[in-house]
Structure 1
Amino acid sequence: MAITAAMVKELREMTGAGMMDCKKALTETDGDMDKAVEFLREKGLAKAQKKANRIAAEGIVVDVVAEDGKSAVAVEVNSETDFVAKNEKFRNYVKTVADQALTTEAADIDAFLAEKWHLDESKTVAEELAAQIAVIGENLKIRRFQQVKEENGFVASYIHAGGKIGVLVDVVTDVVNDEVKEMAKNVAMQVAALKPLYTSRDEISADYIAHEKEILLAQIKNDPKESAKPEKVIEGMINGRVNKELKEICLLDQVYVKAEDGKQSVKAYVDSVAKAAGANITIKGFVRFETGEGLEKKNEDFAAEVAKQMNA
């Protein structure tokens, strides 16, 4: 039977399921509307889609590192409440998502969701997500993942506050021992705590530096006292302020949080460990995921929400 747009629209209005899910349901049931509804319910899609407009800004970040340490992935999966984020069933599910993300060849979330679910290839990752939503009773979202691979060293992992922040650090090294691994974990903790934007100054474009200098120059011109200073002094002030900013946003330029003198940079710390180990070590990059970062969080009175549901 030919599936028309009108049929898909009708099923979507009846169930709240997605357009492609409705088309698939009608195709599988040869256009039988009642059976299509049952198909969506069995897959958990109808119930899941009704929750899709709820804000999922809690959740956890999970890191998975391959046994040889040469590859790793960070995955963020969101839930509506912190209560669910702490639930063992939810956490176990996120771990299975991360296990699949470690070896996926998907380039983005949409492609990942369309993959066959590695624990049951009769369904996709998206269908398994919908099933979990139906069981857990909250909107869930696989928000993002990022893989890191390093053949000439290893990938270090650090999870902060039970999954609120997840960090991966790409370490290039010709020596891997306990001291080097401890250094890598300390650097990962630095990333979690001080939230750098770049690994080193080499990653920052000349255009960015020029733009920052333009802003600083404008600020100086708007200050009568500073604008009256000689041009060379103003130039030195601008360069000094740019350098200060770079020391805050570049990992290797940051002051190492565990430095005994409060002055040692992360690069100096890494170099000291490399020297002691007789190794060549480079921090090549990092990934930092913070749960709910950039998402709008729902701020509702819990008692009022319960009362609203009871009176519905």
Structure 2
Amino acid sequence: MAITASMVKEIREKTGAGMMDCKKALTEVDGDMEKAVDLLREKGLAKAAKKSGRVAAEGLVEISISEDGSKAAVVEVNSETDFVAKNDEFKGFVKDIADIVLNSNVSTVEELLAEKYLGQEETVQEVLNAKIATIGENMNIRRFERFEEEGCKAVGYIHGAGKIGVLVKLETEASADEVMDMGRDVAMQIAAMNPKYISSDDVDPEYVEHEKQILMQQALNEGKPAAIVEKMVVGRLQKQLKEVCLLDQAFVKDGDLTVAKYIDAEAKKIGKAIKVTDKVRFSVGEGIEKKEENFAEEVAKQIGR
């Protein structure tokens, strides 16, 4: 019996198994849909579907940067537990995903999942499904960013064994080696202080107006005269903007310097101009609603007590 694309699609939707696995199963049972599902279940390849509804809010962030620093990628891959995030097989998978993003032109997670896995016949999605079946937890590739721009160098920093990852894009004629230490310091600053913007020039006017209204109301609530509130708020707003703009922040390694002054000083040492043009900071699980569980109770359930 001829195996059609629609048949493969239907089996894949039912089981969550990889496309090639679905096609092989259908071929093996001569196109019998029910038998194909059973076969995939018997092989353990349908486990991914059962686990897909479980919350995966742990995991790792990983970066991959070309040797010359001209392009870079950062990815977040999630697992259900921190135990799996520390598993060598999981770590290797996340590193592979970062390398695949670095060396491809994918722009969405869907496109990434359809990519071939490091030159293999299998796609990223198929390898991911196999990992879910083997490791026994739901996992997903949540997001990624990729930098590649002529005249720029990317520098990265991973903090907390993969809990936070930062990429910084620097516009400069300097080599990757020349800006490595300085770029890493700036990336560490971003990891620690999580600035919202690079400079005050990037600040959204709506954000400024929103914060201004809040600060004005705070001042009025404090009993400050309405006539002087607006002047007071200007000062408070400027102070607040320094906290959310990278270049205006106090440099974490030397509080006497701003980040901008630190970069300028390093640029003078190198003898080449350096400008931060972009940044990305991923923190594992940020924004994902995690299910609160009592670990002791969970273990007790597992051992039947």
TM-score bracket for the superposition, by shorter chain length: 0.7 to 0.9
Question: What is the CA distance between 1:32 and its match in structure 2?
Answer: 3.1
Structure 2 unmatched runs, 5+: none
Q: State the partner residue of 2:218.
A: 219
Seq. identity, %: 45
Question: What is the CA distance between 1:16 and its match in structure 2?
Answer: 5.8
Does structure 2 retain, via aligned residues, the 8 Å contact 1:113–1:125?
Answer: yes
CA distance in 1, matches of 2:94, 2:217: 48
Secondary structure of residue in 1 paired with 2:290: coil
Q: Which residue identity lines up with residue 124 of structure 2 in the other structure?
A: V
Q: Which residue identity lines up with residue 156 of structure 1 in the other structure?
A: V
Q: State the partner residue of 1:297.
A: 290
CA distance in 2, matches of 1:183, 1:254: 16
Output the TM-score relative to the length of structure 2: 0.87
CA distance in 1, matches of 2:120, 2:112: 15
Moved more, 93-102 or 112-121: 112-121
Question: What is the CA distance between 1:66 and its match in structure 2?
Answer: 0.9
> How big is the alpha-carbon RMSD for the aligned residues of Structure 1 and Structure 2?
3.1
Q: State the partner residue of 2:253.
A: 258
Structure 1 unmatched runs, 5+: none
CA distance in 2, matches of 1:158, 1:20: 33
Does structure 2 retain, via aligned residues, the 8 Å contact 1:43–1:127?
Answer: no
Does structure 1 retain, via aligned residues, the 8 Å contact 2:18–2:126?
Answer: no
1:81-122 CA deviation, whole Å, 9 max, x = no partner?
11111111110111111111112222211221122323422x
1:287 is the counterpart of 2:280: yes
Q: State the partner residue of 2:230.
A: 235
1:199 is the counterpart of 2:198: yes
1:156 is the counterpart of 2:148: no
Secondary structure of residue in 2 paired with 1:53: coil
Q: State the partner residue of 2:61.
A: 61
1:247-269 CA deviation, whole Å, 9 max, x = no partner?
1111111100111xx23110011
Question: What is the CA distance between 1:150 and its match in structure 2?
Answer: 3.2
CA distance in 2, matches of 1:290, 1:126: 23
Q: Which residue identity lines up with residue 289 of structure 2 in the other structure?
A: E
Secondary structure of residue in 2 paired with 1:96: helix
Q: State the partner residue of 2:35.
A: 34
CA distance in 2, matches of 1:37, 1:67: 47
1:113-147 CA deviation, whole Å, 9 max, x = no partner?
122323422x2211110000111111111111100
1:31-59 CA deviation, whole Å, 9 max, x = no partner?
43112432466582x10111112211111
| Inter-CA distance 221–302: structure 2 relative to 1 (3 Å threshold) | closer
Q: Which residue identity lines up with residue 100 of structure 1 in the other structure?
A: I
Output the TM-score relative to the length of structure 1: 0.85
CA distance in 1, matches of 2:220, 2:299: 56
Count of residue pairs the alignment pairs up: 300
